[in-house]
Structure 1
Amino acid sequence: MQSFHSYCISASGEERAGGDMQARFPYWSFTKTAIAICALKLSENGTVNLDGCVDGEAYTLRQLLNHTAGLPDYGALKDYHDAVAAGGEPWSRDKLLSAALARGMLFAPDAGWSYSNIGYMLAREHIEAASGLSFAQLMTDLISTPLGLTSVALVTTREEFAQLHCEAAGKYAPGWVYHGCLAGNVRDAARLLHGLFSGKLLSAASMAEMQVTIPLGGALEGRPWTECGYALGLMSGAMGEAGRSAGHSGGGPSCVNAVYHFPDLREPVTGACFTDGHYEGVAETELGRLVQNFG
């Protein structure tokens, strides 16, 4: 039987929760939203330039964050998935890049769109080098402390991952997520995104930049999306009757999540849904159902 853990909060502060609020889950690709928030905050204070080329390459930080840099993704590598399934230790950074870039770039920067975890690894490395702080420290200073999030932390070892509410706990090395894997409870996931859209993390100008969306098409089979796009660290489009949605889904061995803000409801609602399995569409669909029944 599918097990759901959810938390929703409206613009006026009404809250609804279901499942275990203490359990901590891997946030998987929702981590990308946090990386993008940190990058935008560092852009506000002049530490990074979103439109400056990264480490002498042709692509910019903005292009890394919206997946238009032209970089391939290691998710397409059979050897990568075989190594993860075998329970092995993560490859070195050099081995990963050598395998992923064996056929070169997919396209010139800004000449297309392709989802790339490698792009977010490079974005994370760039903001760490520019700020002199680790992503874990940036996350604490720029997001967790301002919002009072107490459960969120970067997991880096098998031992840390073993403490999470996930069937793969104890069997998986989080280093396989090369941009980093945050973990926390479902409530703090929703509160992170709620804080972002409540204006507690970024300036109005930065929020406007973050939401500039590259349209990517219409409905996705088996998922609630009726309009798809990608902004800076945000999957951005629409989910049927729930209306416009912006946030991120995530998935990895044995569990998935969906964390989204829905501004078109009678009252805007931000929510998170975590569940077992391998298909993000299940979490997305359940979250869409929950927010439409809110209020």
Structure 2
Amino acid sequence: MLSSLLSNGQPTTPDRLEPVVPWWSFSKTVLAATALTLVRDGRVRLDELIPGQPFTLRQLLRHEAGLADYGELAAYHAAVENDEPAWPADDMLKRLDAARLRYSPGAGWGYSNVGYLFVARLIERLTERPLDQAVAERVLSPLGLANVRFARTRADMQSAQPAGTANYDPAWVYHGLLIGPVSQAAWLLDRLLGTDLLPVTLLEQMQTARILGGPLPGRPWLAPGYGLGVMQGAIVGGYTLCGHTGSGPGSVIAVYRVCDGDASACCAVFAAHGRQEAVEARVVEQLMQGLGRAH
């Protein structure tokens, strides 16, 4: 496993050369942050219907918009397994019958990568910038991050770990797949939640979660939930995790932050051929070390 731990905003390990890794669904946290800068700037409102759609930005960010997910499609899994090129986005939406909502917006919950494709498209429309430029200008550069970018082609994946992703077409991640060092993922989340990129009111709304049930077997969550682009919930010890877990062919990444009074810790862990529960357990172990707590 590769890991990076920050304690009270300071790294606990010396600088080192790091491989570039796929951030998988932690990319959603970055997209949500970018969208919330547009809310901050008055370009869009969280609770107004998106033009031409029956749902709001808040509902998209919290997976409450009623949209399906292409993970439902057996043909999608077969194509990824066979290292096929990604379908055009509009073709995917047609195969999924994505215009047919699975429930009324706001009335249910369903994890949807399609929802974040719509978030990405909204960012591009409102900024009049390509997604990578908008994200860099609004989040990556203000937070002082380097060596983070969107993977667009198989060639981009050839520079990333693990080696087994070299034939993977990153266009299968329809909302965009960020790649970068593990330490940059930890820095991004720590600075996003711990600095003034977003006003306090928006940070509070970002971390207001819809609770999704009780304990998950083998995973640290006692009360898992989802906020605006973040997985958020209670764990043993009375702590609350905020961040995101993501997985794709051959690897898992988990990036979380925890606070205890004035103390904070933020950790990112990446594992090739790992399991989500093992990676999350490692994150929690390191976060407790970062807080100076036994675990």
The bucket for the TM-score relative to the shorter chain is over 0.9
1:1-295 to 2 correspondences below 5 Å = 4-11=1-8, 13-17=9-13, 21-101=17-97, 104-241=100-237, 243-264=239-260, 267-277=263-273, 279-294=275-290, 295=292
Structure 2 CA distance for partners of 1:125 and 1:156, relative to 1, 3 Å: same
Q: 1:12-50, CA deviations, whole angstroms, 9 ceiling, x for partnerless residues?
A: x33224996521100000000001101110111112222
Contact 2:242 / 2:258 at 8 angstroms: preserved in 1?
A: yes
Residues of 2 paired with 1:102 and 1:188: CA distance? Answer: 34
Q: 1:86-136, CA deviations, whole angstroms, 9 ceiling, x for partnerless residues?
A: 110101112211122269321000010000000000111011101111221
Alignment TM-score, normalising by the size of structure 1: 0.94
SS of the aligned residue for 1:168 comes to helix
Structure 2 CA distance for partners of 1:18 and 1:84, relative to 1, 3 Å: farther
Q: 1:43-84, CA deviations, whole angstroms, 9 ceiling, x for partnerless residues?
A: 111122222222411111111100000001111211100000
Structure 2 CA distance for partners of 1:242 and 1:86, relative to 1, 3 Å: farther
**Runs of at least 5 residues in structure 1 that lack an aligned partner in the other structure:** none
Residues of 2 paired with 1:42 and 1:103: CA distance? Answer: 25
Structure 2 CA distance for partners of 1:242 and 1:87, relative to 1, 3 Å: farther
Identity of aligned residues (%): 37
Identify the range of structure 1 (94-103 vs 59-68) with the bigger mean alpha-carbon deviation: 94-103
Residues of 1 paired with 2:175 and 2:278: CA distance? Answer: 24
Contact 2:3 / 2:183 at 8 angstroms: preserved in 1?
A: yes
Identify the range of structure 1 (44-53 vs 231-240) with the bigger mean alpha-carbon deviation: 44-53
Structure 2 CA distance for partners of 1:289 and 1:265, relative to 1, 3 Å: farther
Q: 1:193-225, CA deviations, whole angstroms, 9 ceiling, x for partnerless residues?
A: 000111232111111121121111111112111
Residues of 2 paired with 1:49 and 1:272: CA distance? Answer: 31
Displacement, 1:290? 1.1
Contact 2:150 / 2:177 at 8 angstroms: preserved in 1?
A: yes
Contact 1:5 / 1:19 at 8 angstroms: preserved in 2?
A: no
RMSD: 1.8
Amino acid at match of 2:87: W
Alignment TM-score, normalising by the size of structure 2: 0.94
The count of corresponding residues between Structure 1 and Structure 2 is: 291
